[in-house]
């Protein structure tokens, strides 16, 4: 489990799933993965907003100007006004996905089946909400982790016959991914709250889609670069896990990218990209500080502030 904040200040190391990770390396990985995800998904989002109808762009700006003119006490009205959409935007969004079902091309049919609001509705279950309710539950980081957990389980069962040690390592990987997935999944709650506060204060329709897509991918890459390589696993085990992650990442980049393109084409504008990107970047840095303390935060929530203070004090005062 996580180490006490005072120990991190003394030796510049963080406990990371049973392994010691240097804070400077952790921060470097977080920054690099954040830039990679923002670049990848930001391009999809901006490209979609460039294809938005001019009258819809004007309407979005008018709605936000109207929202900013409202008193702060009318918090609900400010938020709902800023989220106003162009007339028929939802219908056009559905029509956009329906066109992928008319060409008879196999990959377009698969994309339509997964993405269309009339079918599996990837946008709904991948992005919306974080509560364990039927209408609010979202897959979040589990889009990346569950397939790898399943592959690790299958390999663990198969390797019982050939190599029991590697079999145990695959099952150990499942526990690590479950532990990491729970931490990552619930650490985005402060980010959701911050998004809504910014929507209320600035009267703007910030999109959670770009934030969550980047958040999940950045943490997945962090798991691939730090968590798995730091484990005392056999080379074959690491290769299977990392390769599985790479395949899942490529699939999800396509699915998330298409969702962001369609969302920004009909609902959001390019101005949403800037503020949400800044919010995502800073929240990733803060979350990387409190990630090792997740289980302690459940017992003593005030340690979130203590962990952040000690983490940043460590970077300002001590050599890393």
Is residue 313 over pLDDT 70? no
Answer left, alpha or beta for residue 2, where phi above 0 means left and psi between -120 and 50 means alpha: beta
84 Cβ contact list (under 8 Å, min separation 6): 59, 60, 63, 205
pLDDT at 4: 44
pLDDT: which is higher, 273 or 50: 50
The HSE-up count of residue 72 (CA atoms within 13 Å, CB side) is 4
What pLDDT does residue 279 have? 76
**Measured CA angle at 38 (ends 76, 260), to 5 deg:** 60
β-bridge mates for residue 13, sequence order:
22
pLDDT of residue 43: 86
Alpha-carbon gap, residue 198 to 274, rounded angstroms: 13
At 14, give phi and psi (nearest 5°): -120, 145
| pLDDT the model gives residue 312 | 65
Residue 298 has pLDDT above 70, yes or no: yes
- Other beta carbons within 10 angstroms of residue 45's beta carbon come to 29
Mean pLDDT of the residues in the chain: 81
Average pLDDT over residues 203-213: 75
Q: State the CB neighbour count (10 A cutoff) for residue 252.
A: 19
**Whether pLDDT at 90 is above 60:** yes
pLDDT at 317 over 80: no
Question: For the residues 67-94, what does the mean pLDDT come to?
Answer: 83
User: Which candidate, 156, 210, 161, places its Cα nearest to that of 188?
Assistant: 210
Give the helix, strand, coil percentages of the chain, each rounded to 5. Answer: 75, 0, 20
* C-alpha to C-alpha distance for 238 and 84, rounded to whole angstroms: 47
Calculate mean pLDDT across residues 10-38.
84
Task: Say if CB 279 and CB 212 are below 8 A apart.
Answer: no
Q: Provide DSSP, 65-119.
A: HHHHTS-TT-HHHHHHHHT---TTHHHHHHHHHHGGGSS--HHHHHHHHHH-TTT
**Cβ atoms of 210 and 204 closer than 8 Å:** no
pLDDT grade for 229, boundaries at 50, 70 and 90:
very high
Residue-level pLDDT at 269:
67
Q: Is the confidence at residue 3, as pLDDT, over 60?
A: no
pLDDT of residue 213: 85
Q: Which of 290, 291, 286, 288 is nearest to 307 (CA)?
A: 290
Structure tokens at 231: 């484990």
| Residue 318: Cβ within 10 Å count | 13
pTM of the model: 0.84
Judge residue 152's burial from the number of C-beta atoms within 10 Å of its C-beta, 0-12 exposed, 13-18 middle, 19 or more buried.
Answer: buried
Q: Is the dihedral of CA 275, 276, 281, 284 positive or negative?
A: positive
Among the ranges 58-62, 174-178, 286-290, 305-309, which has the highest mean pLDDT value?
A: 174-178
Query: E strands, the chain, where?
Result: 13-16, 19-22
């Amino acid at each position: 489990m996580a180490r006490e904040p005072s120990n991190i200040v003394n030796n510049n190391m963080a406990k990371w799933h049973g392994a010691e990770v240097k804070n400077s390396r952790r921060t470097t990985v977080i920054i690099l993965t954040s830039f990679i995800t923002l670049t990848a998904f930001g391009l999809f989002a901006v490209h979609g907003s460039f294809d938005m109808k001019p009258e819809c762009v004007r309407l979005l700006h008018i709605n936000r100007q109207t929202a900013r003119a409202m008193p702060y006490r009318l918090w609900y009205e400010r938020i709902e006004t800023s989220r106003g959409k162009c007339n028929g935007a939802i219908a056009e969004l559905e029509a956009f996905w329906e066109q992928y079902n008319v060409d008879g091309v196999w990959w377009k049919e698969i994309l339509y089946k997964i993405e269309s609001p009339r079918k599996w509705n990837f946008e709904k279950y991948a992005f919306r909400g974080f509560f364990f309710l039927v209408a609010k539950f979202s897959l979040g980081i589990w889009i990346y982790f569950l397939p790898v957990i399943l592959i690790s389980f299958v390999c663990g069962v198969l390797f019982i016959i050939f190599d029991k040690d590697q079999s145990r390592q695959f099952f150990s990987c499942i526990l690590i991914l479950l532990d990491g997935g729970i931490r990552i999944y619930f650490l985005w709650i402060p980010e959701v709250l911050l998004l809504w506060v910014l929507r209320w204060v600035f009267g703007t329709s910030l999109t959670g889609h770009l934030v969550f897509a980047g958040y999940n991918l950045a943490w997945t890459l962090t798991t691939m670069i730090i968590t798995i390589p730091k484990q005392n696993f056999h080379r074959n085990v690491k290769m299977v896990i990392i390769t599985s992650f790479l395949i899942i990442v490529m699939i999800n980049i396509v699915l998330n990218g298409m969702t962001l393109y369609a969302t920004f084409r009909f609902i959001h504008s390019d101005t949403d990209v800037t503020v949400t990107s800044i919010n995502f970047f800073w929240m990733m840095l803060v979350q990387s500080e409190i990630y090792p303390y997740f289980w302690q935060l459940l017992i003593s929530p005030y340690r979130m502030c203590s962990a952040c203070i000690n983490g940043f004090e460590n970077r300002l005062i001590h050599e890393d």
